[in-house]
Amino acid sequence: MSTQPIGPIDSSKTPRYAGPASFARLPRLDQVPRADIVVAGVPFDTGVSYRPGARFGPTHIREGSRLLRPYHPALDVSPFEIAQVADAGDIAVNPFDIHEAIDTIQAAALELTAGGARLVTLGGDHTIALPLLRAAAERHGPVALLHFDAHLDTWDTYFGAEYTHGTPFRRAVEEGILDTEALSHVGTRGPLYGKRDLADDRRFGFGIVTSTDVYRQGVDDVVAKLRDRIGTRPLYISIDIDVLDPAHAPGTGTPEAGGITSRELLEILRGFDGLNLVGADVVEVAPAYDHADLTGIAASHVTYDLVTLLATRHAQSENSTRHRSRH
Ligand SMILES: N=C(N)NCCCC(=O)O
Ligand SMILES: [Zn+2]
Ligand SMILES: [Zn+2]
């Protein structure tokens, strides 16, 4: 591929607050010949157990992304120059039928990745991680999972319902779509229903880096430990924005005190440069509870870092393919 990627709208020519918001002012998927990385929204919150509103998350994250700039100094890369990144808009899912919604999301994720593109999804509540993981496993086999969240989301049922935002990772383990040698929760905290929650979670294969561990051990140690566990496995990263302290991300449905900071989250993500990331999501942004767009801005920066990790990875594999074909 020798043609230059089409980048974001030039904010020195068109003010960043003008016009409709695509993620980071990137082109829409229908405006590019092909894409390496696709950002898509899933406006869906039928799976929530407490405050609703994450169906408005994708729009809010896109609005919060208008100020993002094209060069990432911490990773020393211009992600939109080394990969074609595009916004596929929102996946239209049925808010009244969770089973149909899950199927629709899975099918859309498969369609968006059919040409080899990697997908970053903007939620939506955490239910959507299940169909996204199914699609990722269909493409790559069982995936390693890094799950950033205040919550375990490995509970069994709510009111008898199996498909909710508190249960996606238990279903995923049961379905065999996760690589159980490399599953980690990061940022976990807050009261549980009982000790058994932790025993179940451990039995499924999860390791836990609590929010307090991040504070006591520091970002570098946490990154080293997680990288070690993941190795070269295909990796999916799921980020529930409630992993951040409510001071950093009040706009979410099930907030818990004592969370990590947005600086810690971004620094941990940057530590995963070079890993075999195959897909990611940022979920549980509920703008009705946000203040001064704090949560939308945090989520947009987190998404930018995920896109950057995928872009770097894309460029590395392009280089090695070109290198191989020369021999
Ligand atoms: N925010 C997510 N994904 N899960 C929260 C479930 C918490 C509960 O109702 O017990
Ligand atoms: Zn959560
Ligand atoms: Zn969650």
Q: What is the ipTM of this complex?
A: 0.97
197 annotated as belonging to a binding site for a ligand: no
Distance of alpha carbon 314 from alpha carbon 291, whole angstroms? 36
Judge contact between 303 and 282, C-beta under 8 A. Answer: yes
Neighbours of 194 (CB within 10 A): 9
Query: Can you tell me which atom of ligand 1 is nearest the CA of 168?
Result: 3
* Per-residue pLDDT band at 324 (split at 50, 70, 90): confident
- The predicted pLDDT at position 189 comes to 98
Q: How far apart are the CA of 132 and the centre of ligand 1, in A? A: 18
Please determine, for residue 1, whether its predicted confidence score (pLDDT) is greater than 60: no
Residue 155 identity: W
Task: Assess whether the C-beta atom of 151 lies below 6 angstroms from ligand 1.
Answer: yes
Q: Which one is the CATH code of 23-326: 3.40.50.300, 3.40.190.150, 1.10.3720.10, 3.40.800.10?
A: 3.40.800.10
pLDDT tens column, 96-142: 999 999 999 999 999 999 999 999 999 999 999 999 999 999 999 99
- The predicted pLDDT at position 49 comes to 97
Please determine, for residue 284, whether its predicted confidence score (pLDDT) is greater than 70: yes
Q: How far apart are the CA of 10 and the centre of ligand 2, in A? A: 36
- The predicted pLDDT at position 322 comes to 79
Query: Can you tell me which atom of ligand 1 is nearest the CA of 126?
Result: 3
What proportion of the chain, given as a percentage, has pLDDT over 70? 99
- The predicted pLDDT at position 2 comes to 57
149 annotated as belonging to a binding site for a ligand: yes
147 annotated as belonging to a binding site for a ligand: no
Query: Can you tell me which atom of ligand 1 is nearest the CA of 242?
Result: 1
Full strand arrangement of the beta sheet holding 206-210: 85-90, 37-42, 118-123, 277-283, 235-240, 143-148, 178-188, 206-210
| Mean pLDDT along residues 150-157 | 98
* Per-residue pLDDT band at 3 (split at 50, 70, 90): confident
Ligand 3 (single-atom ion) residues, CB below 5 Å:
126, 149, 151, 153, 240
* Per-residue pLDDT band at 256 (split at 50, 70, 90): very high
| Mean pLDDT along residues 217-245 | 98
- The predicted pLDDT at position 227 comes to 98
Task: Assess whether the C-beta atom of 64 lies below 6 angstroms from ligand 1.
Answer: no
- The predicted pLDDT at position 87 comes to 99
Domain positions in the chain are 23-326
pTM over 0.90: yes
305 annotated as belonging to a binding site for a ligand: no
pLDDT tens column, 58-103: 999 999 999 999 999 999 999 999 999 999 999 999 999 999 999 9
| Mean pLDDT along residues 14-40 | 98
Please determine, for residue 264, whether its predicted confidence score (pLDDT) is greater than 90: yes
Arithmetic mean of pLDDT over the chain? 97
